[in-house]
Amino acid sequence: MHSPTELAEKFREKQLKLTPQRQLLFGLLHQNDSHPSAESLFEVASKQMPGISLRTVYQTLGELAEMGELQLVDVGTGAKRFDPNMTDHHHFVCESCGAVRDVEIAAKPKMRGGSGKFVISQVGVVFHGRCENCVPTAKRSPAQQAKK
């Protein structure tokens, strides 16, 4: 995702208004690698701007996604996650606390057995497991980070 300033630029060009809500969300998403859900973003946003609506969060996230500024990641834990990291990477999901981490890929997976029958436009790889805070040996209670 581009920086808040660059996003502001882009929005203006498309005659989209630079509202306080959008500016706040731009800031919250910038370099955010926590893969927040709309709901969790909403909670954080609400602290800085009480009264902001969940609807607006969804709306803004949707716009940014459409503009190719962030990707929607569905890791199968209910709510979709939003990821400003548009580089080619995959995800690890802690099945205990729900945390989502980036997994860099060494080499692009190659299609095998498809023999040219399909047209692949996107490959999503999701690793499910337990993060370091949640491996059984670690007794501490799972950090319920970014769960909802």
Question: Under the rule (CB under 7 A), what is the footprint of DNA?
Answer: 11-12, 15-22, 37-39, 51-56, 58-60, 62, 78-80, 148
Distance CA 83, CA 49 (A): 22
Instruction: Rule CB under 8 A: say whether 103 interacts with a second copy.
Output: yes
Please name the residue that has the structure tokens 């890791």.
Answer: 75
What does each C-alpha distance from 25 to 34, 43, 73 come to in angstroms?
14, 11, 18
Stretch of 20-28, 39-47, 62-70, 111-119 lying at the interface with a second copy (CB under 8 A): 111-119
Distance CA 82, CA 1 (A): 11
Q: Which residues contact 136 (CB under 8 A, 6 or more apart)?
A: 130
User: Which of 45, 93 has the CB closer to Mn ion?
Assistant: 93
Picking from 36, 20, 35, 27, the residue whose alpha carbon sits closest to that of residue 3 is 27
Q: How far is the CB of 64 from a second copy (least distance, A)?
A: 18
Stretch of 2-10, 37-45, 56-64, 87-95 lying at the interface with a second copy (CB under 8 A): 87-95
Distance CA 32, CA 39 (A): 15
Q: Which does 38 bind (CB under 5 to 8 A by kind): Mn ion, Zn ion, DNA, none?
A: DNA
Instruction: Rule CB under 8 A: say whether 140 interacts with a second copy.
Output: no
**Candidate list 7, 57, 93, 131; residue touching Zn ion; CB under 5 A:** 131
Q: Which of residues 36-75 bind a second copy (CB under 8 A)?
A: 74
Instruction: Rule CB under 5 A: say whether 96 interacts with Zn ion.
Output: yes
8 Å CB contact between 25 and 8: no
**3-class DSSP state for residue 146?**
coil
Contact residues: a second copy, CB under 8 A: 74, 76, 92, 94-95, 101, 103-106, 109, 111-114, 117-132, 135
